[in-house]
Amino acid sequence: MSNPTLYYIPEPSHWPIIGSVGLCTALVGAALMMLGSAAGSWLLAAGVLIVVLMMFGWFGTVISESESETYNAQVDMSFRWGMFWFIFSEVMFFAAFFGALYYARQYSLPWLGGEGPGILTNTYLWDGYEALWPYTADGPGEIGGGFTHMAAWGLPAINTLVLLTSGGTVTWAHHALKAGHRGQLIAGLFLTVALGFLFIGLQAIEYVHAFTELNLTLGSGIYGSTFFMLTGFHGLHVTIGALILTVVLLRCISGHFTPNRHFAFEAAAWYWHFVDVVWLGLFVFVYWL
Amino acid sequence: MSEEIRRMLPNLRSLLNLRRFAAVVFLLSFAGAAQAGWDTLNMPVGVTEVSRIVYDLHMLIFWICVAIGIIVFGAMFYSILMHRKSRGVTASTFHESTTVEVIWTVIPFIILVAMAVPATATLIKMEDSGESEMTIKITGYQWLWRYDYLDHDFGFYSFLATSREAIRDQAEKDENYLLEVDRPLVIPTGTKIRMLVTANDVIHAWWLPDLALKRDAVPGFINELWTLVETPGIYRGQCAELCGRDHGFMPIEVHAVPPDAYRAWVEEQTASATE
Amino acid sequence: MSEIAADAHDDHHDYHPSGLWRWVTTTNHKDIGTLYLWLAMIMFFIGGAMALVIRTELFSPGLQFVDPQFFNSMTTLHALVMIFGVVMPAFTGLANWQIPLMVGATDMALPRLNNWSFWILPFAFTMLLSTLFMDGGGPAGGWTLYPPLTLQTGDALPFVIFSIHFMGMSSIMGAINVIATIINMRAPGMHMMKMPLFVWTWLITAFLLIAVMPVLAGGVTMLLTDKFFGTSFFNAAGGGDPVMFQHIFWFFGHPEVYILILPSFGVVSSILPTFSRKPLFGYSSMVYATASIAFLSFVVWAHHMFTVGMPLAGELFFMFATMLIAVPTGVKVFNWVATMWRGSMTFETPMLFAIGFIIMFTIGGFSGLMLAIVPADFQYHDSYFVVAHFHYVLVPGSIFAIMAAVYYWLPKWTGNHYPERLGKWHFWLSTIFVNLTFFPMHFVGLAGMPRRIPDYALQFADYNMLASVGAFGFGFAQLLFLYIVLVTIRGGEKATDRVWEGAEGLEWTLPSPPPYHSFTTPPVIR
Ligand code: HEA
Ligand code: HEA
Ligand code: CUA
Ligand SMILES: [Cu+2]
């Protein structure tokens, strides 16, 4: 079947429609949960389950196609372009939240505090409010009842180190893969996965700290909103990335990739680097500056 | 030659027919306008210096667009008429010319610059709210306006005055249907007035075409406007930002009166406020 | 449409389910293109029916037919359906059918993903339309979804937002596929600068989609958390700003309107040379102009927000940037006229729609330029003048281009010619009524009629009545379109491979209808 001039067109597939049903179930469930309906969480769980099944099925098919070398290098290239643009779309998704952070810090808060054209706003509507990022960044209405912001040089700095190291280990694993050093590959990848989950664990500790000791929640004005939105979505992406890497690790262990044919590995690595870079942005703009 | 003309004739005839048809449609659409006058067709000239400048700017750009349109569509229609296969023409093969590309990049650019200059000047003038003599705070609510005279410490709400029956077609609709309020905003003529626009619930927009004023009323923020009305009169507008169910039913009515009359009115208001 | 196309294939022994399941599981670009196009057709009638509800209520002053809240949800859903359910899927359908044919590929690059891109949409629109029956009614805050108003939506809110997430996912996956196909699947010798303009415009459109759909997704996610999780992105009391949403929305929204028009440019650039029997004038400048439009589209968004109270410098910047877009767009218009110039033209239906497109799109472009002039926009903004502007670029713009494309390629897809006389009738009826509908809106807008109102002052009555009559006329003319498409699928005069005398390009080298897998051996490009 492998024909270098013929593009491999997969047979009809039922996985996409299962994915749609799963996603739809999950989202309807989530919506019902938000509206306070008891059935919501069950639907959400069922939907997520279907999506997970779909992923196993769909990726399973692709993996077996890959292992039996059903498709040629051109298909591999299509996958690469697909992954590249998918990551670009993720970058733009984060851009929306970074944009919100930028807007809040650069415009809305200063205006509320009376800077520039905000002088009238401050005088007539929010008299006495002084905008100081991050100290009074819960806004003039003191939404959420006062909070302490998250310091940059504790856990967040450690987490930066953790993620940066994991970026290094995944590169190490990649080099090992290309050089055919199986042991190093598995070790490097294992370390990466471990560091990924360590990051998630530390992030969880940080959240508990925020909620219980700092009174910092999603409801803490624009500070809490941007903080949790950015770190939350990033955390979600780290989780996804770590899961992908776990699958790739398992595939490495069962001897799937060859030095010149390992798209899945590279895709996971790209994704991991993307997650890394987003974190650097977070560390600088959310925690540090 | 006669051959030529004969070939063109059917085209001309169909063109004439088309024109007749277009003329009928055109006349139909202007019949209403003829009754109600220019007002229902175009932007009002308005009663402030700014509104007149804006009107002129609008017309200037409109006529520039018309002129460009005539040239572009003219060339196109000429081509459609003359370069059709039914006239036996064979197609040329030219398909590139850097010279013309440059020409039709640069000329529009110059036209745009010519538009941008007066537009910029007007905008700078409009944004200059310095030296105003009095201040009114305008607050949008779902679905009414509130006016506060900050120099005199009084204010009031302004509701739609049209009856529900008129809206539901159960009563006659009068001339100012949907554009009338129970308590209009009263302002003095010949006075530079500063307006602070905000809202209490959702975004509204305060729009008075005759004054060329439109500004969003954003909850939690204040936007600034100014005006200087020259002619006494009653001016009407509407909320211009979708604000929910009755967005179409929160009109604006402004009575511009001479300064003496305004002072008398203010006294009346403050007197009744302290009672 | 490709029922017939499918029959033509017999050389393959792949697993092929039949009946409905075939369409659900298909990985074939033609099948998927067909699905997209039918979805667009159905949604067009649904969105159009909503427009007719709007026009019925606006036929005369007073409230006669619907509650204002329902009116607002009609406006909101009409726009969402027309944009996300009609124009975008129709273009994606055209892309699916045409891009592999035009670049000489077997199929799209990622066929399974292609299937998923489509099969998310029916779920998205079921979800969106079902909100009409929920507590508190459908979304009624306008398609722009501005908070705080949109946060007053009842139970519908999370469903609307999730359906938007769905549509976004679908568009992104579709766009990824288009890019991968164009970059990776071109036949040997098909250099980038040899690609048909339809392919070029779609490449750039796909880039815009991937760049801005995620931003919309992020924006509506913030709406959701503001409503249900206590965040304050759009709440001044918490340090946010309702206007922040508008910036995010229009950062998506303005590129979005070019997403709705760039493929049209590609369609028109394919049709004009065919019926002028003359190569497209200024190919490379067309490519650069498209790219410039796309680039500029990222820096003009705040022209939708001139009245929010931006600082002067901001208003000036966005005014100048917006005006600049007239330059590359003008280049396109001039090149089209130059393509027709000294050609040997015939006026079959696709050509009529293409010419109609150029004229009426340009009229819409002119009003766009007027809107860009900030001091004048203070008067135009949120009036029917804006409604007139964007319907001119969208209806006789995007929709006409889609129809032109369908007439142009339908003989290729089905192997049958459509009935030419009926096609011409369809064009003339559409053109007359579309102008009758939308031209008077310029007048009432200038005279002071705000948009999104269910009832209006008496001086606007005459033109509204005209517009309503026009809308019904235009709507019913579209039933003719549906009829023509159905008739052509079922039979008709057989089309040759070339179909049109002046047609150039790879798609015309294949039989009509083309085989199930388009180019199983890559064609040779001269
Ligand atoms: C297909 C969709 C489409 C397209 C192509 C455009 C094209 C343009 N639009 Fe439009 N627009 C919309 C869809 C579109 N728009 C929608 C949906 C809205 C409303 C959204 C909402 O609020 O709900 C809107 C609103 C909108 C506004 C906001 C109005 C307001 O709310 O106050 C503005 C303001 O600048 C604007 C400007 C423009 C400009 C300058 C162009 C330019 O691209 C046009 C360029 C073209 C030409 C100018 C004509 C051809 C050129 C020549 C022949 C060359 C020579 C010409 C000159 C030198 C003048 N548009
Ligand atoms: C591609 C986009 C697109 C398209 C194609 C259209 C098409 C039409 N639009 Fe659209 N419209 C928008 C995009 C579009 N619109 C947007 C973005 C808005 C702004 C929304 C907002 O403010 O938030 C808007 C708002 C809008 C308004 C303003 C509403 C308001 O401000 O309150 C009006 C009013 O007349 C209107 C009318 C029409 C009409 C008459 C058509 C016609 O072209 C439709 C043609 C009609 C049909 C195709 C009907 C066919 C149906 C039948 C013949 C009956 C059969 C019925 C069944 C089988 C059920 N539109
Ligand atoms: Cu208030 Cu619209
Ligand atoms: Cu725009």
Instruction: Please name the residue ranges forming H helices in C326-460.
Output: 326-340, 349-372, 374-380, 384-393, 400-414, 420-446
Whether residue B266 sits in one domain with residue B201:
yes
C277 CA to centre of ligand 4 in angstroms:
35
**Interface confidence: ipTM more than 0.85:** yes
pLDDT per residue over A267-282, tens digit each?
999 999 999 999 999 9
* Total domain count, chain B: 3
Q: Is residue B91 part of a domain?
A: no
Q: What HEC string does C61-96 produce?
A: CCCCCCCHHHHHHHHHHHHHHHHHHHHHHHHHHHHH
Q: Is there an atom of ligand 3 within 6 Å of B204 CB? A: yes
**CATH of residue B177:** 2.60.40.420
Q: What are phi and psi of C67, to 5 degrees?
A: -70, 145
Active-site option among C29, C186, C332, C391: C332
- B17 has pLDDT over 50: no
Rounded percentage of chain A residues whose pLDDT exceeds 70: 98
C149 CA to centre of ligand 3 in angstroms:
10
Average pLDDT rounded to a whole number, residues B64-92: 92
Residue C381 known to be catalytic: no
Domain edge (last residue) among B106, B127, B148 = B127
Residue C254 known to be catalytic: yes
Whether residue B242 sits in one domain with residue B159:
yes
Q: Is residue B268 part of a domain?
A: yes
- C1 has pLDDT over 90: no
Across chain A, mean pLDDT equals 91
C431 CA to centre of ligand 2 in angstroms:
16
What's the pLDDT band for A121 if we cut at 50, 70, 90? very high
Q: Is residue B106 part of a domain?
A: yes
Say yes or no: B240 contacts chain C, CB-CB below 8 A.
yes
Dihedral sign, CA of A77, A79, A80, A82? Answer: positive
pLDDT per residue over B143-165, tens digit each?
999 999 999 989 999 999 998 98
Average pLDDT rounded to a whole number, residues C94-99: 96
Which atom of ligand 2 is least distant from the CA of C44? Answer: 48
| Whether the Cβ atoms of residue A160 and residue A258 lie closer than 8 Å to each other | no
Beta strand pairing call for B134-141 and B193-199:
parallel
What's the pLDDT band for C4 if we cut at 50, 70, 90? very low
pLDDT per residue over C44-56, tens digit each?
999 999 999 999 9
- C8 has pLDDT over 50: no
pLDDT of res. C7: 39
Whether residue B238 sits in one domain with residue B157:
yes
Whether residue B146 sits in one domain with residue B257:
yes
Rounded percentage of chain C residues whose pLDDT exceeds 70: 97
* Residues near ligand 4 ion, CB 5 Å cutoff: C 254
Residue C332 known to be catalytic: yes
Q: What token pair was written down for C236? A: 């001044």
Distance from CA of C487 to the nearest CA of A (A): 29
CA distances from B218 to B198, B250, C153, C525 (A): 5, 16, 19, 59
SS percent in chain A: helix, strand, coil, step 5: 75, 0, 25
Whether residue B237 sits in one domain with residue B116:
no
Domain of residue B14, residue span: 3-36
Q: Is residue B41 part of a domain?
A: no
- A8 has pLDDT over 90: no
- B21 has pLDDT over 80: no
Residues C71, C78: Cα–Cα separation, whole Å: 10
Q: Is residue B27 part of a domain?
A: yes
Q: What token pair was written down for C179? A: 């890019």
Whether residue B257 sits in one domain with residue B156:
yes
- B2 has pLDDT over 60: no
Whether residue B142 sits in one domain with residue B260:
yes
Q: Is residue B156 part of a domain?
A: yes
Q: What are phi and psi of A235, to 5 degrees?
A: -60, -40
Q: Is residue B43 part of a domain?
A: no
- B14 has pLDDT over 50: no
Q: Is residue B93 part of a domain?
A: no
Q: Which residues, 6 or more positions from B110, have their beta carbon under 8 angstroms from its beta carbon?
A: none
Laid out side by side, the sheet with B193-199 consists of B154-158, B144-149, B134-141, B193-199, B223-227
Across chain C, mean pLDDT equals 93
Whether residue B173 sits in one domain with residue B63:
no
Nearest ligand to residue C72 Cα: 2
Q: Is there an atom of ligand 3 within 6 Å of B247 CB? A: yes
- B6 has pLDDT over 70: no
Beta strand pairing call for B185-188 and B251-257:
parallel
Give the angle subtended at the CA of A37 by the CAs of A33 and A42, to the nearest 5°. Answer: 65
Whether residue B219 sits in one domain with residue B112:
no
pLDDT of res. A64: 87
pLDDT per residue over B190-221, tens digit each?
999 999 999 999 999 999 999 999 999 999 99
What's the pLDDT band for C273 if we cut at 50, 70, 90? very high
Laid out side by side, the sheet with B185-188 consists of B185-188, B251-257, B233-239, B204-208, B213-217
pLDDT of res. B38: 56
pLDDT of res. A5: 58
Of C120, C217, C239, the CB nearest to A221: C239
pLDDT per residue over C401-435, tens digit each?
999 999 999 999 999 999 999 999 999 999 999 99
Whether residue B269 sits in one domain with residue B141:
yes
Whether residue B254 sits in one domain with residue B170:
yes
Residues C155, A35: Cα–Cα separation, whole Å: 7
pLDDT of res. B35: 46
Of A23, A97, A224, the CB nearest to C218: A97
Whether residue B54 sits in one domain with residue B17:
no
CB atoms near residue A34 (< 10 Å): 19
Ligand 1 neighbours, Cβ below 6 Å, are B 65, 68, 72, 108, 111-112; C 144, 257, 260-261, 303-304, 322, 325-326, 329-330, 333, 362, 365-366, 368-369, 371-372, 377, 380-381, 386, 389-390, 393-394, 397-398
pLDDT per residue over A57-110, tens digit each?
999 988 888 888 777 888 889 999 999 999 999 999 999 999 999 999 999 999
